[in-house]
Structure formats: structure tokens, C-alpha cells
């Protein structure tokens, strides 16, 4: 059954200073180059076993001098089931668990140095023993931050969603419709009330600056991504998310979005546990 706010651990709920949260034009910082990786847990592994292997591999990578030198950010986001029933009640379908990673460097040159490192390549390719490469969809992302708070919670609660474009829509039309839907959602009072941060991650156009490092990604046996997008929401507590998902405006919006662009088909939405391996 869907959780109610009073069923949550009271220690996990904190008031959010909402007076400082501002709706802002979408920003796409140019001082960082971001790679998003989406990994579906292989059928032959348990969620716990796959996550343990991913975590250990990430720790090995982050210990490398080339990674210490070049990464500005490396986050792992693991699914947690606390709000699965609430999301199912909205219409999202049950799916295999996923693990997300968000990695940032200052420039494509820094990425090229990482991807050309033999020890980095060895660790990544050896990870295929548990499906690290074949389970992945990795892509360079344009990041648009739609909401950001100057006083975000110290330990925010994360909700993430991964959407794949339906075959009936061209990719760019799909992304345009997604952007319009996001703006409609963020205009809802309940979203303004509870969101401290909201960001969209859409595949970058692989121009001349990225072609070389994109080919280096594929050389690590990382498959080309399917057309899709990643959304990450931060709020101050799980209680805020329970309130959000149960709100009539959100239920109505979810129904409309599923009708318009089938966000629930091949889509994943979940409460996320963020582990920051590198933070600057």
C-alpha cells in the first residue's frame, strides 16, 4: 500500500526553508561535461549483488590518479523501494531495478584523458564479469536545472525518473514535449512548495568536440543509448514526496502525461539513495 507521511521515520523528515526556493529559467552550465550512465540490473543477479559490485568498481575507479585528477563529480544513485507503491498508484509500471551514475569533468579533454587511461579501461571492461558494460546506457548529457534553492537541505531526498522515447515520436519532438510537460508540472503549487531542486538530463548532440570521446566510450563496450531522458528531483524529506505523489494535481498531471507521451512505458521512477564518490 502507498505510504502516508505519518508512516515515515520521523527522523527522516525535516522542514524545508521554502521561502528561498526560486523557479528559474533552465540553466545549462558550460563549465562541466556530464556523462549519465543508466544500468539495469541483469536478470541473473540480485539487486543487492549488482549494487555491491557497482559500488566496489566505482571505488576502484575513483582511487586511480587519473580519476582523482579529472573528476569534479561522481555520484551513484541506487533505487530504494520505500515509495514504489505510491509510484505504482500513479501509473508507473514495475520494472527491473536500475543504478544511475552522474560523472562530471571540466572539459572534453579531461574526459579524453580518463578514457584513454589503460588502468581505467581495464577496470571498466573487467566489470563485464557482472554486466557492468552490457547493462549500461551511457551518454553525454545537456543538464538543464529548472529549479534550484539557495538553501537546499544538507541531506536532500532524491526522486529520479528515466524515460525512453516511444517509437511513434521523433526524438526531438519527444524532448520538446517533455520540456513542455516539465514546465507545466513545475508551475503547480505543490511542486513549487516541495521541490528544492529539479534538473533534466538530455542527450547532447555529439558534435566535433564530443565525437572523439564518445567513440572512446563505445570502445569500452558501452552500448549506444536509447533515446530518452533522466530527471532528478530533490526535496527535503521523504514526507514531502509522499505529499507530492498523493496530491490530486499530480495525479491528474501524471494521467495526462501518460496519455500524451506514454511516460510510463519503458520508464522508471524511484526514490533514490545518492552516494557521492567525488564532490567538488
The pLDDT assigned to 18 comes to 29
Per the DSSP assignment, residues forming a β-bridge with 61 are none
For residue 174, is it within any domain? Answer: yes
Name the one residue in this structure whose C-alpha cell is 542527450. Answer: 203
For residue 27, is it within any domain? Answer: yes
For residue 9, is it within any domain? Answer: no
**In this predicted model, what pLDDT tens digit does every residue of 121-136 receive, in sequence order?**
999 999 999 999 999 9
Percent of the chain at pLDDT exceeding 70: 86
Between CA 132 and CA 71 the distance in angstroms is 20
The pLDDT assigned to 238 comes to 86
For residue 92, is it within any domain? Answer: yes
What's the domain count of the chain? 1
For residue 44, is it within any domain? Answer: yes
For residue 14, is it within any domain? Answer: no
Under 8 Å between Cβ of 269 and 86: no
Residue 17: band (very low, low, confident or very high) from pLDDT cuts 50, 70, 90: very low
Whether the pLDDT of residue 47 is over 50: the answer is yes
Between CA 266 and CA 208 the distance in angstroms is 31
Per the DSSP assignment, residues forming a β-bridge with 99 are 39, 78
CATH number at residue 120: 3.30.70.100
What is the domain extent for residue 182?
19-278
Name the one residue in this structure whose C-alpha cell is 566489470. Answer: 127
For residue 8, is it within any domain? Answer: no
Burial class (CB in 10 A: 0-12, 13-18, 19+), 22: exposed
Whether the pLDDT of residue 12 is over 50: the answer is no
For residue 182, is it within any domain? Answer: yes
**In this predicted model, what pLDDT tens digit does every residue of 99-121 receive, in sequence order?**
999 999 999 999 999 999 999 99
Give 19-39 as a DSSP string: GGEEEEEEE--SS-EEEEEEE
Amino acid at each position: 500500500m502507498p505510504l502516508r507521511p505519518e508512516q515515515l521515520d520521523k527522523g527522516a523528515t525535516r522542514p524545508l526553508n521554502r521561502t528561498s526556493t526560486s523557479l528559474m529559467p533552465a540553466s545549462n552550465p558550460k563549465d562541466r561535461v556530464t556523462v549519465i550512465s543508466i544500468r539495469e540490473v541483469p536478470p541473473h543477479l540480485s539487486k543487492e549483488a549488482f549494487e555491491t559490485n557497482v559500488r566496489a568498481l566505482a571505488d576502484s575507479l575513483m582511487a586511480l590518479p587519473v580519476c582523482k585528477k579529472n573528476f569534479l563529480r561522481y555520484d551513484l544513485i541506487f533505487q530504494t523501494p520505500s515509495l514504489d507503491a505510491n509510484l505504482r498508484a500513479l501509473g508507473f509500471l514495475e520494472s527491473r531495478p536500475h543504478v544511475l551514475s552522474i560523472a562530471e569533468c571540466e572539459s572534453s579533454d579531461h574526459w579524453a584523458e580518463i578514457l584513454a587511461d589503460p588502468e581505467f579501461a581495464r577496470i571498466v571492461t573487467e566489470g563485464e564479469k557482472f554486466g557492468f558494460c552490457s547493462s549500461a546506457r551511457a551518454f553525454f548529457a545537456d543538464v538543464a536545472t529548472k529549479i534550484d534553492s539557495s538553501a537546499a537541505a544538507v541531506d536532500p531526498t532524491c526522486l529520479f525518473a528515466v524515460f525512453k522515447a516511444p517509437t511513434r515520436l521523433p526524438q526531438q519532438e519527444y524532448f520538446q514535449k517533455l520540456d513542455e510537460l516539465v514546465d507545466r508540472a513545475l508551475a503547480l503549487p505543490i511542486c513549487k512548495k516541495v521541490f528544492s531542486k529539479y534538473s533534466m538530463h538530455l542527450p547532447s548532440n555529439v558534435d566535433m568536440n564530443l565525437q572523439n570521446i564518445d567513440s572512446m566510450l563505445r570502445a569500452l563496450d558501452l552500448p549506444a543509448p536509447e533515446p530518452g531522458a533522466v530527471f532528478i528531483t530533490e526535496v527535503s524529506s521523504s514526507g514531502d514526496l509522499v505529499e507530492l505523489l498523493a496530491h490530486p494535481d499530480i495525479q491528474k498531471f501524471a494521467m495526462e502525461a501518460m496519455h500524451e507521451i506514454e511516460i510510463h512505458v519503458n520508464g522508471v521512477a524511484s526514490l533514490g539513495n545518492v552516494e557521492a564518490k567525488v564532490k567538488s
